[in-house]
Chains A and B, each alone.
Chain A
Amino acid sequence: MSLSTLTKPWEAMSYGFLDGSAKRELRRKMLKSVAVPGCQMPYASREVPMARGWGTGGLQVSLTLVNPQTRVKVIDQGADDSVNAASIRRFIARVAGTPTTMDTLEADLIQSRHRIPEEILREDQILVLQVPNPEPLRPVQPNMSIARQMHADADYGRMWLQLYEQIVRSGRVMQGASYPSLVHGRHVMTPSPIPRWDVPKLHMAKHLTILSAGREKRIFAVPPYTRVEPLVFSDVPYKVEEHGHLTCTRSGTTGFFMNEIPRDDGTSSFEVSDSEWGVKTIRARDGDGESRGETWYKNGEMPQ
């Protein structure tokens, strides 16, 4: 062994910002999280030039996965053009030289905050979700050591109790986003704060989903063709948001998840949340060619 074998040529910056040891650690943990779907794996979560809680977990996963051929799409609440999404997209392109896109169908890697795109993802695509709170048990068990014991024992009784109490108090399940879901019949996970509308998209999906919480230092995954079942009582069926009949005021598309925009007169108008879907709809309407792919929801309903 000589000194030259222990060193490597000088670089101004490591490719993809993260250093080799951070990437190797993430690789090892990603493999373990795929092997045990839905189980939270602790990882180191290095510093990136962004505040914790702004997508650092997802960013680290993306930076580990990218190479100069990976086409990257970043969305924030469905929109490609919000500040957070645009900054992350520009950062990845700057430190990894990746091409970027807004088209869901063109992307190889999609980093997302709180939405899954409306178009069906393919086998060769990877979805990276940013997770603020990876622990579904936190509302019922604030002590994370005890929560880990509960995951180890598959002791999810209190999750059911929480849902039951919501139904008794309010007549329906009040959990709007990050609906607790049972993965592969064993681990309950939070699907990150995606709306209830998006949870069925994870069930037996063709694509790999990696969920990473940078601040909380936890990573978990949903491999393709894996059961993801929202916790429900057999006599109280799972309900997605009633957006199936709503029409987007800007693009005219109907049957997708909408953003509600309050009006001065007390009414609301609606805009499609997946901004690129809206753009594609407008393009098709204006005769600029059809670029829309197949969607998970058809006529506002998820086919069973």
Chain B
Amino acid sequence: MLATPAPSPAETRDNAAFDALLWTLSRPGLPRDLPEPGEQSIVTALLDRECLVYAADPLLMPEIMRSGAELADIDKADHVFLGAMATSDPLADIAIGSDYYPDDGATVIIRANIGSGTALRLTGPGVDGAVTLQLEGLPVRFWKARAARLRYPMGFDLFFVDGARVVGVPRSTTVEEI
């Protein structure tokens, strides 16, 4: 009989990163911990040569290039790394998929501070009643720009990364600023 394969450090990290992403996307507004700070573990857990990626943050380029993913314009990309956002303009161009294939809507990763700043009230699937999420460092009209693009089931899914913490806001979540 074969010996049981042991996970490599890379496999362990990707598995833990995905576990955090899946947990926080299925429970919007509740942060989880990535195995290491920053977007790197998200890149290695999700991206490979089948992906089209747009990255606004040049510091992420080496990691993305290593994954083999192809760089693309923001309206074509299926994974969008916006870094710390100065304006909400990029949201206007992100791919939202189609009614036939909502999965063509992009996954968007943004840097923000979790736990301080504007309070948001989230409702929708994955939320037991309502949950309050505080995010700081987003441009002023961010949530209005998101609402303007969403045509459920078309839309894009957001992950906010703060150091090693990550919080997900899928397209199915209704966000109110309070």
Contact = CB atoms under 8 A, between A and B. Distances in A.
A29 B50 CA distance: 13
Q: Which of the four size classes fits the interface of chain B? A: 35 or more
A187 interface: yes
Interface string A65-104: 1111000000000000000000000000111110000000
B99 A153 contact: yes
B157 to A, nearest CB: 4
Q: Which of the four size classes fits the interface of chain A? A: 35 or more
A20 interface: yes
A24 B10 CA distance: 13
Contact of A149 (B3, B19, B100, B105): B100
A23 interface: yes
Contacts of B126: 34, 223-226
B153 A11 contact: no
Given A67-B7, A68-B7, A97-B6, A36 B100 contact: no
Interface stretch (B21-29, B83-91, B111-119, B137-145): B21-29
Secondary structure of the B side of the interface?
loop
Contacts of B2: 12-13, 94
A65 B19 contact: yes
A27 B45 contact: yes
Contacts, number: 144
Contact of A13 (B5, B12, B66, B103): B5
A20 B46 CA distance: 10
A136 B14 CA distance: 34
A224 B107 contact: no
Given A9-B8, A34-B22, A184-B125, A41 B103 contact: yes
A30 B15 CA distance: 13
Given A13-B2, A186-B152, 7 more contacts: A15-B11, A20-B48, A36-B171, A97-B5, A123-B27, A148-B100, A221-B26
